[in-house]
Structure 1
Amino acid sequence: MSESPYILRSDNEGVVTLTLNRPQNRNALSFGMLEALRDTLAQIAEDENARVAILAGAGPGFCAGHDLKEMRATGFDDAFVERLFKLCSEVMQAIVHLPKPVIARVHGIATAAGAQLVASADLAFAAKDARFATPGVNIGLFCLTPAVALSRNLANKHMMQMLLSGELIDAETALRFGLVNEVVAGDTLTEVTAAFARKVASRSPLTLAVGKRAFSQLTELPLSEAYAHASKLMADNLKAHDAREGIEAFLDKRDPVWRGR
């Protein structure tokens, strides 16, 4: 196994790109890969210069899901498998709870836990050649943990179509299902994703964090509770410097100066 890092990180104008770096096995989520991703996300959460994160994959595909060869090498040890799935769940929740927007940049395949990564991200841009699947049913292992993330993106019938068939769907179908935001030519994927990330990164980091956290909370509440909670959050948000600065800048027809507070 190569000693190169599991995750490659590059920073540019507030946009942090994290590239899964095991192209020889389609960036399968081994225990080491998951640990590295968890630790890198924790670093980004505390990095004031990081505004937006892009999650990508090196080589011919985005992510082929869990590393089945690693599982077999342990003899499918119960303790290892339990720790592996627990760690994977922690990583997916770290993406959801990261106080910065996360954009998946998908090419090639995104299958099983790879599709789970896409569904856990806030946004996803896909190349026309991208393919998605939850193929666990084909090998006797139903994709239950990916289903958690998919259920927060897809209608139930679309989700069950993927889970029960195990078949690959193309990028346009993923767009129709709601798994990705946009499908673009492969040779433009990197720039299209980066351009959108830079646009988001130009916003107040405080506002982005407030909005992402609130969105997750509001979707879980009944309608009346959601409005009550949102009203309080907006009133609190208005007390922030960046909100006042943004309103003043809009009215004065100038660019705002964000302070992240």
Structure 2
Amino acid sequence: MAETPSLEQALLAVDGHVATITLNRPDQRNPLSGQMLRDLIAAFGWCQKEPDVRAIVLTGAGDRVFCAGADLSSFDGGMSDLERHRSRDLFVELFTLMSEAGKPILGRINGHALAGGLGLACACDLLVSVDTATFGAPEINVGIWPMMIQAILSRSIPRKVLLEMEMLGDRWTADQMQSLGIVNRVVPHDQLDSTVKDITDRLVKKSPIALRLGRDSFYKQQDMDFRAALAYL
């Protein structure tokens, strides 16, 4: 197994065939700073290339917040307009890498997933959430719109629901998100790890080739028209 990358604001651990990536700034509510995005890109890139990794878990440190969104100060302080524009490309690079990872990504939602954190959760293939977590796109409450994550959200959340989330900025419970088919499992905190382990134990026993081909086809055909999707599959 290749040496794992050096990370500043995230953690990467491997147990058997499962890699766990952890957003590791719990005192700041695990925000998506420029450095955090670079760390996540490095971690997912490593997992994608490492043949021994068959499943990836994404979670946040602590027991209150998965990710509370972007750390806007990290993109503005001392940056030129060009640098600020390029920093936004980190979101594009991360979400593209996650969609093309070729391996199942399980979101272990240990707490609130808000704004960019909601986008990060929706970029995962499967979600297991603690029952106390809330989800939302509260950007409108400070006069902005979640442009950077809308392409991700619109592929996971029903249209009318997403528009309500974006226009009203309310928080939604884990149970509500499960009822809409966005979250797969909702469990008490003391069952979170065992539920995640049960799913990853099953995933790593599946054919990695079948999972890669099936996952790739799932994401590629969803943006095709019906006839093109049939021909592709």
Would the TM-score normalized by the shorter structure come out above 0.5? yes
How far residue 77 of structure 1 moved from its aligned partner, in angstroms, is 4.7
Match of 2:74 among 52, 55, 70: 70
Contact 2:75–2:87, Cα closer than 8 Å, also in 1: no
CA-to-partner distance for each residue in 1:135-164, whole Å, 9 max, x for gaps?
111111101122111100111001101111
Residues 1-261 of structure 1 mapped to structure 2, 5 A cutoff = 5-59=8-62, 60-74=64-78, 77-230=80-233
Aligned residues: 227
How far residue 24 of structure 1 moved from its aligned partner, in angstroms, is 1.0
Contact 2:128–2:186, Cα closer than 8 Å, also in 1: yes
For structure 2, the residue ranges without an aligned partner over 5 or more in a row are 1-6
How far residue 225 of structure 1 moved from its aligned partner, in angstroms, is 2.6
RMSD: 1.7
How far residue 69 of structure 1 moved from its aligned partner, in angstroms, is 3.1
Instruction: Using CA pairs under 8 Å that are at least 6 residues apart, name the structure with larger relative contact order, 1 or 2.
Output: 2
Higher helix share: 1
Q: Distance in 2 between matches of 1:165 and 1:107?
A: 24
CA-to-partner distance for each residue in 1:79-119, whole Å, 9 max, x for gaps?
34312221112101111110101111102211111000111
For structure 1, the residue ranges without an aligned partner over 5 or more in a row are 231-261
Q: Distance in 2 between matches of 1:28 and 1:221?
A: 33
Contact 2:76–2:84, Cα closer than 8 Å, also in 1: no
How far residue 72 of structure 1 moved from its aligned partner, in angstroms, is 5.0
Give the match's secondary structure for 1:37.
helix
Bigger Cα Rg: 1
Q: Distance in 2 between matches of 1:10 and 1:41?
A: 12
Q: Distance in 1 between matches of 2:198 and 2:157?
A: 26
Superposed structure 1 runs of 4+ greater than 3 Å apart: 71-74
Farther-moved stretch of structure 1 (106-115 vs 217-226):
217-226
Give the match's secondary structure for 1:65.
coil
- Provide TM-score, normalisation by structure 2: 0.92
Q: Distance in 2 between matches of 1:134 and 1:110?
A: 9
Opposite residue 207 of structure 2, the aligned amino acid is S
